[in-house]
């Protein structure tokens, strides 16, 4: 069939495209990430080596911002405490997400994807609204305290449910739960049904099938879920700001104050770079673990 009919002949592929087309697509493929991702990160890294003197940013390369982070007793403890909170958030999210994902994967037909959509819908809601909803539950006059007082479990509302690191951990676990459910659900969905049938035919119990077949095959998805929630919780500053109070200070809030209140952008950039290094290290360890499992 001729080209005049508007139909591209079979076999017309990349070899028939002009060199200009290939050059343009290659430039766009590399230039867009370079301009919008690599270049801003590079400028951010460069700014972390500047410093602020009497309210003026001095463009001289120095390590004083990084020295300040490690030498000042106020930053490293908050950084380590934030890491522990994020590990707890990842653990709690995975513990609750795995049974939910397992239940979804065990369903048949459309019900599986309809219920999966129910757990995805919260991701489309406003982040601030969800935090306010959790505050309404955990607050001194919130739903949970009202129930506890009404039932008679406590005589007066509990104060430790809000405005502390425990509240930050609980809130982040609830908010990031869908991010943990989806990777585990996808990993469970990819397990071939015939493998489970073969395990049952060989006389394995449900627990043995789970321990020897389902869990090892879904472990990679579980690690991805834990990594997602850890990384997302690590850089969050809105949740600690709204439910953390004065005793719920996290590293993300410190970075936010450097940009929003102290106007010390070089020091804030240095703290952000430190956080970025930790995130990259976590992603690298996850990748290495995945490769090691594939080689076994």
Which helix H or strand E contains 56, and what residues bound it? strand 56-58
| 3-state SS assignment for residue 42 | helix
Of all residues in the chain, the percent with pLDDT exceeding 90 is 57
Cα-flanking dihedrals φ and ψ of residue 207, to 5°? Answer: -65, -40
Asked if 30 and 37 count as a contact pair (C-beta separation under 8 A), the reply is: no
Let me know whether 191 and 261 are in one domain.
yes
pLDDT tier at 6, thresholds 50, 70, 90: very low
In a domain? residue 55: no
Nearest Cα residue to 169 out of 244, 94, 247: 244
143 pLDDT above the threshold of 80 = yes
Of all residues in the chain, the percent with pLDDT exceeding 70 is 93
In a domain? residue 68: no
Q: Which residue has the higher pLDDT, 141 or 284?
A: 284
Let me know whether 43 and 125 are in one domain.
no
Output the domain CATH number for residue 279.
1.10.3720.10
pLDDT tier at 125, thresholds 50, 70, 90: confident
Give the domain extent around 37: 3-47
Cα-flanking dihedrals φ and ψ of residue 226, to 5°? Answer: -65, -40
Let me know whether 39 and 88 are in one domain.
no
Model pTM? 0.86
10 pLDDT above the threshold of 60 = no
Nearest Cα residue to 235 out of 194, 271, 281: 271
pLDDT of residue 257: 93
Alpha carbon distances (Å) from 29 to 17, 24, 32, 33: 17, 9, 6, 7
> How many domains, the chain?
2
Let me know whether 20 and 130 are in one domain.
no
Cα-flanking dihedrals φ and ψ of residue 119, to 5°? Answer: -80, -15
In a domain? residue 239: yes
At 27-57, the pLDDT tens digits run 888 888 898 889 989 998 999 999 999 889 9
């Amino acid at each position: 069939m001729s080209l005049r009919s508007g139909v591209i002949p079979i076999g017309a592929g990349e070899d028939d495209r002009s060199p200009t087309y290939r050059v343009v697509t290659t430039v766009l493929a590399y230039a867009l990430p370079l301009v919008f991702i690599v270049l801003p990160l590079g400028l951010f890294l460069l700014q972390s080596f500047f410093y602020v003197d009497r309210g003026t940013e001095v463009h001289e390369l120095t390590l004083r911002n990084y020295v300040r982070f490690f030498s000042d007793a106020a930053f490293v403890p908050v950084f380590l405490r934030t890491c522990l909170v994020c590990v707890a958030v990842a653990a709690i999210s995975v513990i609750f997400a795995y049974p939910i994902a397992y239940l979804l994967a065990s369903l048949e037909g459309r019900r599986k994807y309809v219920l999966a959509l129910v757990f995805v819908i919260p991701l489309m809601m406003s982040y601030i609204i969800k935090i306010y909803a959790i505050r309404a539950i955990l607050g001194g006059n919130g739903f949970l305290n009202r129930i506890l007082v009404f039932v008679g479990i406590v005589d007066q509302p509990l104060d430790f449910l809000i405005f502390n690191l425990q509240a930050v951990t609980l809130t982040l676990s609830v908010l990031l739960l869908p991010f943990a459910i989806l990777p585990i659900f996808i990993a469970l969905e990819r397990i071939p049904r015939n493998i489970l049938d073969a395990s049952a035919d060989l006389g394995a119990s449900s627990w043995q099938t789970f321990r020897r077949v389902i869990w090892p095959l879904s472990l990679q998805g579980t690690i991805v879920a834990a990594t997602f929630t850890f990384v997302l919780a690590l850089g969050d500053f809105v949740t600690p700001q709204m439910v953390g109070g004065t005793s719920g200070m996290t590293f993300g809030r410190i970075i936010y104050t450097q940009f929003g209140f102290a106007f010390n952008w070089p020091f804030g950039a240095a703290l952000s770079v430190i956080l970025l290094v930790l995130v990259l290290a976590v992603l690298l360890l996850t990748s290495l673990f995945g490769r090691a499992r594939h080689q076994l």
